[in-house]
Every structure is written in C-alpha cells, then in structure tokens.
Amino acid sequence: MDEEIARHIKKGIDLRRHIAITQREHPQATGEFSQLLGQITLAAKIVSREINRAGLGDILGKTDEENVYGERQARLDLYANAVFTRALIHNGGICILGSEEESDPIQVRKPELRGKYAVTIDPLDGSSNIDYNVSVGTIFGIYRRQTEGGPQTKASLKDLLQPGRDLVAAGYVVYGSSTMLVYTAGDRVFGFTLDSSIGEFLLSYPNIRIPSPGGYLSVNESYFKNWSPPVREAVKEIRDRDDYSSRYIGSMVADFHRNLLSGGIFLYPPEPEVPGKRSGKLRLLYEAAPMAMIASQAGGRASNGKKDILDVEPDNLHDRTPFYSGNREDVEFVENKIKSWED
C-alpha cells in the first residue's frame, strides 16, 4: 500500500471514508466496488440489529424449509439471506449472486443494474448457534465477472466458479459481543467495529496479522474417531504443545476470528467413512475461499490438506472441502503429516 495513503488509515475512521481513501490507489475505479461494499455493510447493520433483538421478536427457531445440503433452515437464515440478496441484487454493482441458502445463482435481470462483480455469500454462518445467543457471522467473496458481452449479456455460472486466487476482495461480519466487519481487498486485512450509537463501522484493527507461533487449537473433537490417522496424529501433537489451548465455538466465523487475532489453527477435517462428510462440512465457495484470502493476507495459510485453498478450482457451486487454516507453520505441519502418510 502506498505510504501516503497508509498514513490516512487511522483507527476510528469510518468505513466509507476508509474505502474512499483506499480507492485512491485505483484511479480507474468506477465506484462500483465502493457501492458494493456499502451495500454489504448496510445489510450487515440490518442483520446485526435483528440478531441483537432476536429473543424479543418471533424470529428464533427453525422453519420447515431445507437448504440444498438438506439442513433445516433457521428463520434468521432466511431473513439474512433475504436482506443480503435484496441489498446486492438491486443496488450492489453486481451481475450475479451465489448464496449458500439458494440452490441456484441469482441473476441481476435488468441490464441497467448489472455491474462487473460476481458475489458469493453465506448470509448467516453458524446459525445452529443462534437460539443460544452464541456468535454467528456472514461471509462474502467478490470476484470479477468473466462472461463477455458487458451489461447487456446475462452473467453465467463461470462468473462464480472461480478459484479463491481470483478473489478481488473477501470478508466476514461477526455478530458477537460487538459486531465487527473484517475485510481484505488484497492488501492488508482491516477490522471495523460497529458503533451502534451512530450506526457506523469504525476502524479498530488497521492491519491484522496472525500471531505465531502458539494460540488456539480449534476443532470439533467429538469427530476424532472419524478422522484419518494423520489428522488424528496432528491434532494430538498440537494439543500436547505447551503454548496451545483448545477453543471451539462451532461457529466458523467466530472460531476463525478468534484465531486470526490470537493465532493457532482451525480445522474441519474430512470424515472419510461418514456419508455427506467425506470432504468435510465447509463449503469451498461460500466459506473456505473467502476465509483463505483473509488468512493469507494476514500472513497465515488455509489448506485442504494437500494444497492452498486459494488454488482449488470449484466444480460446483456447493462443493465442500476439508479446511485447515491459521498460522502458516501449523497448517504446513498438518499438510506434512498428511503427506507423510501418503508417501
């Protein structure tokens, strides 16, 4: 980042001003990217407000609807999906949206509203925790449209089926004890905290770097018996290290966020003998790839056990992937364990 621009990025500035400053590095920018981030933050504020008063309204609990993975959707899943979809489709500078809650992508139908970005979103990650007042999140990834023909031409699936390496930006919102938005546009990771008294996200972390070594081991150990031998061995060894402690919330955004700030490794390994979990649980496009971009920009790494998540080419919108992310050394330690069993 240009030093003159970096000087203006100070704690406390609001997100809109921050985007305006960072966009100075891109004199050719049309404003669509700023517009898109603006719409994401607007939707995040609406969802945050609803989550904060969730117990008061009639919005907790499950619906009778199932998503494409056969999971029963929570009411807040559907609410968050509707809020983000509306914000992005009508005014977001995008041409197509892939949502974890929808089986098919959503097209921007009117040519005059079509922008140059394709967006993936997990509107409410960790929603099985929502009824218990545990932190949940939203994850988003922003790609450049690949389909030729300009706004007159409809977008296509290939605009969403891109490897994480092609992400223009990625981020998440964690609805926790405070609401935070963390994002990267490929140069540093920034964290903003929502000041609800003025309704603005203010810069609280100007340059997040994953501390290393040490930190938290974060994994659902109740699946220990289902993992492959190298993964079991790696988890046991990390657990025994003196500078590691265990924490698992079961809400990916919250687990990832804690480890981004404190170091360590978050794992969701495959369970080779368990139908539906042979590639783990997490979704490549909606969860893994955006988080991999953030981990990598913060000096860490995310892997599927064999290669960097950013290099994995998606075949389908709803592909799942094993996921190991955090300190570069810890992720490489797991990768080497897996490799050593294959050799």
Q: Does 252 bind ligand FDP (CB under 6 A)?
A: yes
Q: Which of 76, 116, 114, 93 is nearest to 38 (CA)?
A: 93
**Token output for 208:** 């997040």
Stretch that binds ligand FDP, among 56-64, 120-128, 180-188, 197-205 (CB under 6 A): 120-128
d(CA 295, CA 272): 26
Q: Are 237 and 48 in contact (CB under 8 A)?
A: no
Return the residue matching tokens 């970096």: 6
157 HSE (CA, 13 A, CB side):
7
CB of 219 to ligand FDP, least distance (A): 8
Question: H/E element holding 262?
Answer: helix 252-262
Choose between 92 and 123: whose C-beta lies nearer to ligand FDP: 123
User: Which residue among 38, 92, 115, 126 contacts ligand FDP (CB under 6 A)?
Assistant: 126
Q: Does 76 bind ligand FDP (CB under 6 A)?
A: no
Q: Which residues inside 183-202 make contact with ligand FDP, applying CB under 6 A?
A: none
Long-range contacts at 18-21 (CB < 8 A, ≥ 24 apart): 18/190, 18/192, 18/203
d(CA 202, CA 199): 10
d(CA 109, CA 31): 21
Choose between 133 and 220: whose C-beta lies nearer to ligand FDP: 220
Return the residue matching tokens 């609401």: 179
Q: Does 282 bind ligand FDP (CB under 6 A)?
A: yes
User: Which residue among 111, 250, 272, 276 contacts ligand FDP (CB under 6 A)?
Assistant: 250
CB of 218 to ligand FDP, least distance (A): 9
Q: Which residues inside 87-116 make contact with ligand FDP, applying CB under 6 A?
A: none
CB of 223 to ligand FDP, least distance (A): 7
Q: Does 128 bind ligand FDP (CB under 6 A)?
A: yes
Stretch that binds ligand FDP, among 59-67, 86-94, 247-255, 324-332 (CB under 6 A): 247-255
Stretch that binds ligand FDP, among 43-51, 79-87, 122-130, 157-165 (CB under 6 A): 122-130
